[in-house]
Chain A
């Protein structure tokens, strides 16, 4: 399990909504090239997201189960190249003068992946931390 935490000086509902509204991710994260919401009903989302990587654009596809102001649970049905599994969740906790966000991921690599599981986990942890920081900056701007 890979986990990263952030504290955001913003109300829980605003923080949840920023993470829920996947269309706004293009404004928050500089590497997001495109987001296509395939289905959304407030509780469930199906989406495609294209991100820029050094080797070129990557498109992932995922499902999110959305529990209002509590959590977003993610399953990528088409994970990034090299991964056979990318699942996890964001949980949102009311804290004094703000909101604590916890991002968790479980991963598995495809056979013969170039990175070891340890290296991939460390890289993903850095990525999760950077993304949480980007959301914090965007929400506190």
Chain B
């Protein structure tokens, strides 16, 4: 198992940022590889969805279960992980800090290595992808008046 964490600051209240993150249907608007999202269950605490994601020219389906606790932290696992991972679970957590909200993405995963990519290079690429997701969400959040 490998682990990483990425954080980003948003100048906005924690509650609004966390609530926006639960709405997985918006991901298509800020994360370019997402082709479609189908939510199959959502009771406000538990959520199951399928996300069609383009990866290296192919569209693959990722199936995810998310759980939101009382502090707004979203934990998840992928019952069908992205095509470059054998296993993935993680958290999106939201912390009030003096100048806004700090979002932290934590991941525990097993990469599907191709024999040519070193684990460290895989980690660096994964970290950059998470950075891009957080930055995309930040721009999206600002654009919708969050």
Contact = CB atoms under 8 A, between A and B. Distances in A.
Contacts of B41: 77
A65 B87 contact: no
A41 B87 contact: yes
B30 interface: no
Interface string A78-120: 0000000100000000000000000000000000000000000
B41 to A, nearest CB: 4
B79 interface: yes
Contact of A41 (B45, B46, B77): B77
Contacts, number: 25
**Consensus secondary structure, chain A interface:** strand
A85 B43 contact: yes
A38 B89 contact: no
A77 B46 contact: yes
Interface in A28-51: 38-39, 41, 43-44, 46
Contacts of B43: 75, 85
B103 interface: no
B65 interface: yes
A77 B79 contact: no
Interface residues of B, number: 12
B49 to A, nearest CB: 12
A128 interface: no
A101 B125 CA distance: 45
B48 A43 contact: no
Best-surrounded residue of B45, B77, B89 (most CB of chain A within 10 A): B77
Nearest to A78: B41
A65 B45 CA distance: 13
A102 to B, nearest CB: 20
A4 to B, nearest CB: 23
Interface of A: 38-39, 41, 43-44, 46, 63, 65, 75, 77, 85
Given A75-B45, A77-B46, 10 more contacts: A39-B79, A41-B89, A43-B77, A44-B65, A44-B79, A44-B89, A46-B65, A46-B79, A77-B41, A77-B48
